[in-house]
């Protein structure tokens, strides 16, 4: 390290013997693209202010491009003594272009620089996450359409409740993910604010054209209060919250696939590339990938708590606590990105066991509600019909009879109002009677699939 750079670091750091405690370069180096672009646009601004001439601006931008290439080729040497992404790049720029590099920090603070870099990173991350959510939604529609006619037990309290179509079940996750997509859209809006020009906290004494900076860096809005701008991390809170909600949905889906692939259910098999064998029991295939998605949801929940706790009770404006915002942010992004990719692969690998599903559906008494509804249509109050059906079905179920085994005399034990037409009732009839908007009937699910495809086609045009 040359003397000038040593002096600069000592001035910024102070004389603490525990200066390693303050370093962030081991995680904030992933902001290099955003930091370099931010510096290049700042050089353009300094040229507009006649602080740089055209030749100096070109030298600085070219030097920053050299640094970017070195980083991407793995040739850049990250040095702990420079503490963070900004000082590492500034130091290397000094080695390349000399003392001219010192002009680049004119009119800006690291407080606004790191916040701008992070906003740009979050915007890029959201674009990637939204694309992965889109891909997973496509897979859910494909499953719903390919297995359109399969009827499965619908559950409440993990007890067989009423029959639903397989398509209806997986479309439920499509709509969960749609809410996630919308949450990330809102997180994008909160990130899409330029704060350059805010200085360390009080604004800027140079006549910086913030509209110019916003346009060059791709921001649609400009911050209106410098104190708020340099300390605002709500956009990270929004991103991590959206990530947490999406991971909760992936965890729910993972849990169902884990249950359904167990021998107790045997509704589905997960492809071998997404399961692992047991080290001791050769007959087992474990749904480890789905279990890891389920487990990793805890990481993102923890990240949300970490960010919220860091932001709690911070006085205005910038505080070094805010350095702790990035690791939870980066970990949330990495975890969600990987989980979305893996879940899309899992869904594409599924094989449904139609015969087993049909067996379970037929042997259960999920038509109980419809038997009560039958009596209601004959004039019996629902509560009375419910009680009669509930009492007699307990007796019938103890005999191990299925619905298909019942005779008219069995129904007569419930009520004399039952007639021969009850014997014509099928599980398909029960499903198709739920034909309201959002219901599970074949026609309703068909409409839902068409509407979901329209929704996805609209996203393609964005």
Check 99, 157, 436, 461 and give the catalytic one: 157
Whether residue 157 lies in the annotated active site? yes
- Positions of E strands within 78-165: 151-156, 159-165
Beta bridge partners of 222: 194
Ramachandran region, residue 301 (left: φ > 0; alpha: ψ -120 to 50; beta: rest): alpha
Determine the Cα–Cα distance for residues 248 and 343; give it in Å rounded to an integer: 13
* Burial of 409 per CB tally in 10 Å (0-12, 13-18, 19+): exposed
From the list 10, 149, 262, 278, the catalytic residue is 278
With beta carbons less than 8 A apart as the criterion, state whether 413 and 371 touch.
no
- Which among 374, 432, 448, 437 is positioned nearest to 406, based on CA atoms? 374
Burial classification of residue 221, based on how many CB atoms lie within 10 Å of its CB (0-12 exposed, 13-18 middle, 19 or more buried)? exposed
Can 198 be counted among the known catalytic residues?
no
Asked if residue 311 has a cis previous peptide bond (ω within 30° of 0), the answer is no
Q: Which strand (E) or helix (H) includes residue 158?
A: none
DSSP 11-57: HHH-S-TTGGGG--HHHHGGGHHHHHHHHHHHHHHHHHTTSS-HHHH
Encoding tokens for residue 438?
């959002």
What is the set of active-site residues?
Answer: 157, 278
């Amino acid at each position: 390290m040359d003397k000038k750079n040593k002096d600069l670091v000592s001035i910024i750091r102070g004389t603490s013997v525990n200066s390693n405690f303050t370093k962030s370069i081991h995680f904030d180096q992933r902001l290099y693209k955003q930091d370099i672009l931010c510096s290049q646009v700042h050089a353009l601004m300094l040229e507009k202010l006649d602080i740089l001439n055209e030749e100096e601006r070109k030298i600085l931008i070219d030097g920053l491009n050299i640094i970017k290439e070195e980083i991407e080729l793995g040739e850049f040497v990250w040095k702990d003594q420079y503490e963070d992404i900004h000082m590492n790049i500034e130091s290397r720029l000094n080695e390349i272009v000399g003392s001219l590099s010192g002009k680049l920090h004119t009119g800006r603070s690291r407080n606004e620089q790191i916040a701008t870099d992070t906003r740009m990173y979050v915007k890029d991350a959201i674009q990637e996450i939204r694309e992965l959510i889109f891909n997973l939604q496509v897979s859910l529609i494909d499953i719903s359409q390919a297995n359109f006619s399969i009827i499965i037990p619908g559950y409440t309290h993990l007890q067989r409740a009423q029959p639903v179509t397989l398509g209806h079940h997986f479309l439920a996750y499509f709509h969960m993910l749609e809410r996630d997509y919308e949450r990330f859209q809102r997180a994008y809006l909160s990130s899409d604010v330029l704060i350059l020009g805010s200085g360390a906290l009080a604004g800027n004494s140079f006549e910086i054209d913030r509209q110019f900076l916003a346009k060059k860096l791709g921001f649609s809005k400009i911050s209106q209060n410098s104190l708020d701008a340099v300390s605002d991390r709500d956009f990270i809170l929004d991103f991590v919250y959206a990530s947490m909600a999406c991971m909760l949905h992936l965890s729910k889906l993972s849990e169902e696939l884990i249950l359904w692939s167990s021998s107790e259910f045997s509704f589905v098999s997960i492809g071998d590339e997404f399961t692992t064998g047991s080290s001791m029991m050769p007959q087992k295939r474990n749904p480890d990938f789905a279990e890891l998605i389920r487990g990793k949801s805890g990481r993102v929940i923890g990240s949300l708590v970490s960010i919220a706790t860091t932001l709690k009770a911070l006085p205005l404006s910038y505080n070094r606590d805010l350095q702790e915002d990035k690791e939870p942010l980066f970990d949330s992004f990495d975890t969600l990105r990987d989980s979305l990719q893996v879940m899309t692969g899992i869904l594409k690998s599924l094989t449904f066991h139609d015969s087993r599903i049909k067996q379970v559906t037929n042997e259960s008494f999920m038509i109980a509600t419809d038997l009560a509804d039958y009596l209601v249509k004959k004039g019996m109050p629902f509560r009375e019909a419910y009680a009669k059906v509930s009492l007699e079905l307990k007796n019938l179920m103890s005999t191990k009879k299925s619905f298909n085994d019942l005779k008219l005399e069995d129904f007569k034990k419930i009520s004399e109002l039952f007639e021969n037409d009850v014997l014509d009732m099928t599980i398909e009839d029960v499903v198709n009677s739920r034909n309201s908007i959002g219901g599970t009937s074949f026609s309703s699910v068909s409409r839902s699939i068409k509407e979901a495809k329209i929704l996805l086609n609209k996203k393609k045009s964005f």
